[in-house]
Amino acid sequence: MKKIDIKDLGKFKLVGGLDVYRRKVAFTVSEISIEKDDYFSKIYVYDSRKVVQFTSGPKDSNPRFSPDGKFMAFTSKRHKESKEAELYLIPTTGGEARLLTKFKFGINDYEFSPDGKTLAVITPVEIERKKKKDDVHIIKEIPFWFNGIGWIYGKRNHIYLVDVESGKKRKLTRGNLNVQTLKWSKDGSKIYFVAQEDRGKKPMISDLFVVDLKSKKVEKLTDSKWRIGDLVPLEDGTFILRTNTLERGIPTNTHIYHFNPETKEVKKLTAKLDRSAYNSLNCDVRGPSRNPLVYKDGWVYYIATDGPRANLFRVNLDGEIERVIGGDRSVETFGIGEYIAFITQDATTPTELYILRDGKERKVTDFNAWIREYKLSKPEHFKVKASDGVEIDAWIMKPVDFEEGKKYPAVLEIHGGPKTAYGYSFMHEFHVLTAKGFVVIFSNPRGSDGYGEDFADIREHYGERDYQDIMEVVDEALRRFDFIDSERIGVTGGSYGGFMTNWIVGHTNRFKAAVTQRSISNWTSFFGTTDIGYYFAPDQIGGDPWNNTEGYWEKSPLKYAPNVETPLLIIHSMEDYRCWLPEALQFFTALKYLGKTVELAIFPGENHDLSRKGKPKHRVKRLELIVGWMEKFL
């Protein structure tokens, strides 16, 4: 059998973005073209009997069925010369797609009205217009940019109504509101939506609003205390909300609530399951998908991260919770018609479409059949009892051609977040390393999602219990698996994992090579330069750089640069607005100034999502750099 290679990245088919009407399922299949250095996508339809390609592409996605099932809307970019996002409509019986309209700054989301005659579209809008030829940025607010988008100052997301027959559009919301998601009322006279009222001063707060389509009057229904992510309006005038109450700041789990706007009564439906109501598992080969919230027959269906797995759950209004789709895997998205359609993956199987009907599950696509020709290392789970008695989930993956009695180098992988998780999802990077002869070690230390709020809450304690957990995982792996060469262990991670890699090399010399990616090296500079810095750093580190100057410096890996002895490769993207380029530059400069072994790789035109959504050739180059660095020093 074959070994997986870096350039096999181009073979993955990324299945995602589904919608369901009765027995029909529309979904998107994306391809990664290394040769053309781009991504391409088409829409497919499963009609309960067979799967057929429905659109020709090259960049069709986000399908939505009309309420009567006669039409499908989708977004695309079919005109190469146009930079605008295009919205199309096509009969579900087939035929030519008709361009409805275009939006200059993209389409974030959209929904059909109950009668199918109107589409409500969320799109970025300039609320302060710049002169066309003026290339000077006059900035009056924070945040001024956002990762993967670019400049956002002077813009807000607003709702437009698009006539399905004529394609004419009219603006519905205005002003400072920043709309995030929407749902129509059953009679089509109102639209309920979630929006930020003041993203500069209250960046973590979003509220539930309603707008009357005749009067255009907007009313706020909640009290600016929560971060609301999604909603489902019920027939009795109450709502199902996916909400984070922020009681413990960012580590607070997002739960499902029942909300009565008249009485302001709020009930946490998922109180019996201390887990986040979304999928937070890491994966580098997944397709774009919505995170649905579906109410059907008295049950609310939602995805939650439960340890190293993301499963489909349902909860009723009495708070009774059931696991609908379980297993050691990652449920990416789902839809409900006459059966449940869902997209899932696991550690050795990339994304595919499945259906659940009458309690029986069936796989209906096989776009990634090529993977069965490859010999893959399956993650082996082990528990680590930390020094304070808490159990930590950890895994190793043996080299593909593993031989008993032989010693192997190992690479410790650290996930980002920190409130995400590793688990039963496909990581191409891990399989590349095992194919190259490395053992891969990974874990979910304190700070990770999926294990409850107490476990996730490391605010003001970065580099303490989380660092201990990671080092104790390495100790336990060496004790259990004698084929790991303790003198040849490397470490790598991105975002929070990059911060932790920087922290590790400043606090121990036990690793012989390190690769830090999209990292944080200085919390003070992070506070003032990144899209989320001004609220993420105060939440995670405590206070701000003026009232906690010492704390910000104590938790900054830059402080410990003189201690670094591990050869370090720094990988960073030029347009990473989550952890901006200076985080890499200052750490590289410090280490070079101090005479350390360090190199810096900067990727132009890329952002914080280089490893997941970057240009295919850059993704290949990144993996080549990581493997090359580990091979050189291990």
> In sequence order, what DSSP letters do the residues of 45-91 get, joined into one string?
EE-SS-EEE----SB-EEEEE-TTSSEEEEEE---TT--SEEEEEEE
Residue 134's pLDDT is: 84
43: helix, coil or strand? strand
Closest residue by Cα to residue 494 from 586, 563, 579: 579
State pLDDT tens for residues 442-462. Answer: 999 999 999 999 999 999 999
Q: Kindly report the three-state secondary structure assignment for every residue of 179-194.
A: EEEEEECCCCCEEEEE
Q: Which phi and psi (to 5°) does residue 625 adopt?
A: -65, -45
- Give me the mean pLDDT over the 136-164 stretch: 96
Structure tokens that stand for 77 in this block: 């970019």
Residue 47's pLDDT is: 95
Rounded distance, CA 354 to CA 356, Å?
Answer: 7
537: helix, coil or strand? helix
pLDDT at 133 over 90: no
What's the number of CA atoms in the CB half-sphere (13 Å) around residue 601? 20
Q: Which residues contact 266 (CB under 8 A, 6 or more apart)?
A: 257, 258, 259, 260
Structure tokens that stand for 143 in this block: 């945040």
- Give me the mean pLDDT over the 466-487 stretch: 98
Closest residue by Cα to residue 192 from 171, 170, 173, 175: 173
Report the b/e string of 245-280 with b at 16+ CB within 10 A: bbeebbbbbbbbbbbebeeeebeebbeebbbbbbbb
Percent over 90 (pLDDT), the chain: 97
Rounded distance, CA 210 to CA 190, Å?
Answer: 7
Reply yes or no on whether 255 is catalytic.
no
Burial of 69 (0-12, 13-18, 19+ CB in 10 A): middle
**Confidence bin at 615 (pLDDT 50/70/90):** very high
pLDDT at 80 over 90: no
pLDDT at 81 over 90: no
Q: Among the residues of 332-387, which ranges form H helices?
A: none
Residue 128's pLDDT is: 82
**Confidence bin at 132 (pLDDT 50/70/90):** confident
How far, in whole angstroms, is CA 503 from its chain's centroid?
Answer: 24
Closest residue by Cα to residue 518 from 433, 600, 591: 600
Residue 78's pLDDT is: 85
Q: Is this prediction's pTM over 0.95?
A: yes
Cite the residue boundaries of each domain of the chain with CATH code 3.40.50.1820.
380-633
Q: Are strands 61-65 and 51-53 parallel, antiparallel or unpaired?
A: unpaired
State pLDDT tens for residues 213-231. Answer: 999 999 999 999 999 999 9
Contact 280, 417 (CB under 8 A): yes
What's the number of CA atoms in the CB half-sphere (13 Å) around residue 31? 14
Residue 206's pLDDT is: 98
- Give me the mean pLDDT over the 96-115 stretch: 96
Reply yes or no on whether 79 is catalytic.
no
Q: Are strands 380-385 and 408-414 parallel, antiparallel or unpaired?
A: unpaired
**Confidence bin at 130 (pLDDT 50/70/90):** confident
Q: Are strands 239-244 and 255-259 parallel, antiparallel or unpaired?
A: antiparallel
**Confidence bin at 131 (pLDDT 50/70/90):** confident
- Give me the mean pLDDT over the 380-401 stretch: 98
Q: Among the residues of 577-615, which ranges form H helices?
A: 582-593, 610-613
Residue 619's pLDDT is: 98
**Confidence bin at 428 (pLDDT 50/70/90):** very high
> Which member of 41, 61, 448, 495 is catalytic?
495
Report the b/e string of 414-450 with b at 16+ CB within 10 A: bbbbbbbbbbbbbbbbbbbbbbbbbbbbbbbbbbbbb
What's the chain's length in residues?
634
Q: What is the homologous superfamily of the domain 380-633 according to CATH? A: Alpha/Beta hydrolase fold, catalytic domain (3.40.50.1820)
pLDDT at 79 over 90: no
Rounded distance, CA 334 to CA 346, Å?
Answer: 16
Structure tokens that stand for 27 in this block: 């979904």
Residue 216's pLDDT is: 94
pLDDT at 135 over 80: yes
Percent over 70 (pLDDT), the chain: 100
CB atoms within 10 A of CB 136: 6
- Please give the single-letter amino acid code of residue 380: E
- Give me the mean pLDDT over the 66-83 stretch: 90
- Give me the mean pLDDT over the 498-506 stretch: 98
Mean pLDDT of the chain: 97
Angle at 94 between CA 88 and CA 97, to 5 degrees: 20
SS3 content of the chain, % helix, strand, coil (to 5): 20, 35, 45
State pLDDT tens for residues 16-34. Answer: 999 999 999 999 999 999 9
Burial of 96 (0-12, 13-18, 19+ CB in 10 A): exposed
Rounded distance, CA 634 to CA 624, Å?
Answer: 15
**Confidence bin at 82 (pLDDT 50/70/90):** confident
Residue 335's pLDDT is: 98
Residue 43's pLDDT is: 98
**Confidence bin at 38 (pLDDT 50/70/90):** very high
